[in-house]
Amino acid sequence: MTKFGMLFRAAATVVTITAVAPAAWALDKIDVGKAVVTSFAFATLEVGQTAGTWKEEGLDITIHAFRGDAQVQQALTAGTIQFGLGSGPGMGFMAKGVPAKAVAAFAGPPGNMALLVGTDGRIKTVDDLAGKKIGVTTAGSLTYWLVEEMSRQKGWTGAKAMHPIPMGAMRTRLAAMKTGDIDGTVNDSAAAYDVEENGAGKVILSFGDLVKHFYTHVVFASNKTIESNPDLVKRFLRGLFKTVARMKQDKALAVRVGADVMKVRPSVVEKTYKATMDMLSDDGHWDQASIEVIRRSLVELKILDKEPDPKLMYTDKFVPVRF
């Protein structure tokens, strides 16, 4: 190669490096909220960090754990997060004016949700729950609706209906259950099995056996992000569902990260691994039967006076996600 050729090749290399370096180095920083920390499904965010999926999409995510759906919606309204992982009933807040929309279905019927009771023997069967007080995260949340839906399906009304008691964090509910202030609590199955393994409670019901059409979890995005940066929404969703695929292929990784995030033993996460993976969507597409149940739930939860126009709650412009 001539001296001129060598110089030209070197100059071209410099130009190439200069051109690609910013794309390789500059990650878009985004803030993502999740309704609770004690959810194996929501640990998908951290699995993506460990697996490097977010970086593959050019994203650097900061994860914020809240104490229920209401706080996720508050953060979306305040603009402190661009994306949120919350419950299906959380879509009702969009119809009440929260400047956001659900952009993808994340998890179907609640196979990863369980009802935990004490070990004092007062509650031996599901039928013993009639008229009992059950701890939930917040009013208008998934946990609240599950308690009310169970009463409806059992035909319990009036004094016989179970009474959901909003109490926030899981540790508060467990303390109240120990003192007898409540009779049980609705939790992510992994957290519930952890309590059971510690001898501090007993799992008496999986809600996946009760509810067949529903969205346990959905993905929210702020309207500002949807309108000003739709490509960011696409990349976030692509990273999320690529991580779901990785979790379904690599159980060891999913269990290890999930256990670390939730601060429970891996054996606990293994118990709920299959149920959680089965409910997680592969591509975020919407099922209309589940949407209809969500619309009904919003009236039952008294979030809304009437079933909302679906267009106020979600958009299907970003799904199904392809990668």
Query: pLDDT tens digits for the chain (323 residues)?
Result: 544 344 334 333 333 333 343 445 689 999 999 998 989 999 999 999 999 999 999 999 999 999 888 899 999 999 999 999 999 989 999 999 999 999 999 999 988 889 999 999 899 999 999 999 999 988 878 889 899 999 999 999 999 999 999 998 889 999 999 999 999 999 988 889 989 999 999 999 989 888 888 999 999 999 999 999 999 999 999 999 999 999 999 999 999 999 999 999 999 999 999 999 999 999 999 999 999 999 998 898 888 999 999 999 999 999 999 99
Q: Alpha-carbon distance 251 to 305, whole Å?
A: 43
Cα(123)–Cα(42) distance, rounded to whole angstroms? 30
Q: Closest by alpha carbon to 144, among 272, 301, 282, 2?
A: 301
Contact by Cβ (8 Å): 268, 276: no
168: three-class secondary structure by DSSP: coil
Spell out the domains of the chain, with CATH numbers in brackets: 30-110+214-313 (3.40.190.10), 113-209 (3.40.190.10)
Report d(CA 43, CA 262) in Å as an integer: 8
Q: Three-class SS string for 236-265? A: HHHHHHHHHHHHHHCHHHHHHHHHHHHCCC
pTM: 0.80
Give the strand order in the sheet containing 217-222.
Answer: 59-65, 28-34, 83-87, 217-222, 100-107
Q: Dihedral angle at the C-alpha atoms of 289, 234, 44, 184, nearest 10 degrees? A: -40
Residue type, 151: S
Q: How many residues does the chain have?
A: 323
- CA 166 → CA 67, 81, 86, 274, distances in Å? 11, 24, 17, 29
For the sheet with 133-136, list strands across it. 163-166, 133-136, 184-188, 113-117, 202-206
The single-letter code of the amino acid at 200 is A
Residues 64 and 72: their CA atoms lie apart, in Å, by 9
